[in-house]
Structure 1
Amino acid sequence: VGVKRCNDDTMHIFVDGEDMGPAATAVPKNVYAVLDLYGRITAVSIVSSSLMEDSESVKAPSLTSDSCSEGEEDSSPVREAESESCSSVPTIMTFLENHGKNIQLSNQSLTAARVSSYNQGLLVTAQPLARQQLFQFQIDRLNPSWTSSLSLGVIGHSPDRLNFPSTACCLKRSAWLLQRDSVFHNSLKICENFGPNLDTCPEGTVLGLLVDTNSCLHLYVNSMDQGVAAQDIPSPCYPFIDLYGQCEQVTIVTSTVAAVGAEGGETRCQADMEKADMVDGIKESVCWTPPPEANPNKTCEYQALCSRFKDLLTLPDGYFNEDAKCNLCYCESCHKLRGDEAYYKRGEPPRDYALPFGWCRFALRIKSHCEVSNAMKKWHIAYHGTSVGALRRTLDHGQLLPGCSSIFSVSPVKAEGPNSYSEPEENSTPGREVPRVRLSPTMRYSGLEIFAPKVQFRDPRSHRCHQAQVGFQVCVRPGSYKVGPQTLGHSEPLDPRFSNTEIEWITKEQGGTLLYGLLIRIE
């Protein structure tokens, strides 16, 4: 059986080499042959050995190409087979000599630098990207004087005669672009909140592109697959990079990058405990913990800003863990780079808690004795919003103290008004209620401004004014608290995992909490 598109825009069907005549008219030029193995048909083989016309045409049509080929194209799949066999062999990638006017190539066309302005930095590889070949490059130099940063993607046509626009977002023909945390096709946004924000990738980050055998485009960050960004990528396709804004230089990575989870990240700190714990035989969702050299938070701008605010608090260094690798940033880019999930379990019996997305955690020094070690595994995780003024006294005591840790998280003292009288409760101090500390398994509740009031400060580096909030991540002993409803009158759910009827934990016990980390959020 055969199918053919003729010069008169008709489709003909062939049976045993005999033309059955026109089966359809007005067939467009860029079409593919389609077979459906239906019913009794379970297997077919391609027997075409040559094109029946226009044999000089060698480029397979693109599904998304905006322009048609010069000659008529046959739907014979022989070209696709040849293309796949050629593209299955990985090739050494270099940058094409045809590029944006502000680009300068060096290092045998493996390094590209933008030498002036903030745009006109578009460059494409000279070789097409083979299927299953990972093309990787490293960010060598960033210039913080500019805003935004690089973007990358693939184009589905030869770049030899491409008229390079000022920025990649102006590519409107067979182009797939990854910019910030969005995906664009022919300058139209097709996906949001994909992967980390590329504008926040620090120097030394290795980014990569791969098209799999299903024609799906994958983004890699530090050798970690961020998932499918786009589908139906044509073959051949060419990777491109736009050195825009802050990103001024990149280099193609030719050496093999260490595989995710390889040896070298054996040292565990308390941050690792949030990745996978065995609790009563229940294994939590396992997430990749980046090795120290690949941990993105060491140069995260948001974490650096939170760290400068922490320095302004003048808290003694002795309260904090000396190992900076145990500090974790939960900004959008960092937690996506790590592959964090939103919720985990901890304790005996296991209880859910949410990761504090949007906050930055600075690990506190924890005494290494049996009781604390037991608490880290068997106690639950909760959060406590507090005020800046209450931080030092809380750290001095090493736990949340009812009545003195924060005026926003302790029940108010009963007071007698001029025209009122209340009977004292049995076995209690007259006119005074036992102080209680409010906790929550999510910072979406504990981080509300009534619990964690905002303070304004000026960043000593940028001299810009910001608002900051603080709180604690704590271990809380099971059985020392009561689960109850939120007391702020919210009708809408505050966290999709936790009902408003069980989002607030109340504890009265001293010694029932153990400080785990200082949390900071900055707007």
Structure 2
Amino acid sequence: MSESGRSYYAYGRTWRGHPGTRHDTSFTSGLVREVRLAKHSRYKCEYQRRCARFRDSLGLQEDVFFPERDMCYCPSCHEERRDIEIYQRGNPTKPYVLPLGWSRFTLKVPLPQVKLPRGGTVAAFDSWQMCFHGTLRDNVKPIVETGGLRRPGDDISGGTLSQRNGHYNEEWKPEGFDTLQVFVSPSIRYSSKDAYSSPYTWRDRTGQMYKVRSAFQARIRPGSYSIGPTTLHHVRRDERIDPIYKNNEIEWSTKHVDAIMLYGLLIKIEPCS
């Protein structure tokens, strides 16, 4: 199915059980392998199967995913769907550029830990705008277990969220700039920069080494965030990061963590040279 139609009805829970229900995981290791092989076989694309193997290495619970809505944006799958690259989403609308080159593993909406205000899931898919949040491999599980994105200084599973080097922090920022916010972007190109989504070296079961990046696809509530310029170091004045979004509008920030609804884990894999 293309990205053109509304999809929030696919996330209904009446026929899938309560989102807080945990599946029985008391399998033998051999049965786990069989289940995973059967699960991966539904993917037509080898790229998505490889991304799924990496996702499985993260130790996430199966019941946070909604596999019927997984989507591969590799060149072959995108061409086969005859999909366009840019849509309009939200109210007011903003461009949504497909995350080409990535594979999306859809999360249940919302995650069990999250209660959406103001109309819930249907309202979010009707009017909230698309955005992305690049993150490190080691942060994926704490974010999912917490139920959403958090601000620097907030408690997450396993510790406290800290500020990373490479973009504005308390030691390097314009005077008066508040770094204790959640930062997202309408651009996957921007969200996959090293300062947000540093590549992780991973060996597939085939023995091949890959560089892997991870990010989240999300919806953000209109009016809840500020639009601003890049906060990254080392971005030249003449460097256009994304052809759709200008550098002075490529970073969105908010202190309202409940204004962001995660609905997809994105993975991008490239062979190590």
Question: Quick check: TM above 0.5?
Answer: yes
Distance 1:406 1:342, change over 3 A: farther
Between the aligned partners of 1:309 and 1:367, the Cα distance in structure 2 is: 23
- Give the structure-1-normalised TM-score: 0.39
Structure 1 residue 341 displacement after superposition? 1.3
Residue 479 of structure 1 corresponds to: 223
The structure richer in strand per residue is 1
1:498 and 2:245 correspond:
yes
Structure 1 residue 522 displacement after superposition? 0.5
SS of structure 1 residue aligned to 2:248: coil
The structure richer in helix per residue is 2
Residue 180 of structure 2 corresponds to: 435
The answer to whether the Cα contact below 8 Å between 1:402 and 1:437 also exists between their aligned partners in 2 is yes
The answer to whether the Cα contact below 8 Å between 1:306 and 1:521 also exists between their aligned partners in 2 is yes
Give per-residue Cα distances to partners, 1:328-353, cap 9 Å, x unaligned. 01000101111121111111111112
Residue 311 of structure 1 corresponds to: 56
1:275 and 2:1 correspond:
no
SS of structure 2 residue aligned to 1:511: helix
Structure 1 residue 407 displacement after superposition? 3.9
Residue 465 of structure 1 corresponds to: 209
Which 4+ residue blocks in structure 1 deviate beyond 3 angstroms? 367-370, 404-411
Between the aligned partners of 1:385 and 1:299, the Cα distance in structure 2 is: 26
Between the aligned partners of 2:231 and 2:215, the Cα distance in structure 1 is: 19
Distance 1:470 1:492, change over 3 A: same
Structure 1 residue 485 displacement after superposition? 1.5
1:340 and 2:89 correspond:
no
Match of 1:301 among 26, 36, 46: 46
- Structure 2 residue identity aligned to 1:493: R
1:413 and 2:175 correspond:
no
Residue 379 of structure 1 corresponds to: 128
- How many residues in Structure 1 have an aligned counterpart in Structure 2? 218
Which structure would you say has the larger RCO, counting Cα contacts within 8 Å and 6 or more residues apart? 2
The percentage of counterpart residues that share the same residue type is 36
Distance 1:477 1:375, change over 3 A: same
Structure 1 stretches lacking a partner, 5+ long: 1-270, 278-296, 416-422, 426-431
- Structure 2 residue identity aligned to 1:443: I
SS of structure 2 residue aligned to 1:474: strand
Residue 9 of structure 1 corresponds to: none
The answer to whether the Cα contact below 8 Å between 1:475 and 1:515 also exists between their aligned partners in 2 is yes
Give per-residue Cα distances to partners, 1:372-407, cap 9 Å, x unaligned. 221111100000000111112211222211115674
Residue 395 of structure 1 corresponds to: 144
Structure 1 residue 413 displacement after superposition? 3.0
SS of structure 1 residue aligned to 2:43: helix
Residue 16 of structure 2 corresponds to: none
Structure 2 stretches lacking a partner, 5+ long: 7-41, 155-160
Between the aligned partners of 1:436 and 1:482, the Cα distance in structure 2 is: 10
The answer to whether the Cα contact below 8 Å between 2:110 and 2:263 also exists between their aligned partners in 1 is no
SS of structure 1 residue aligned to 2:247: coil
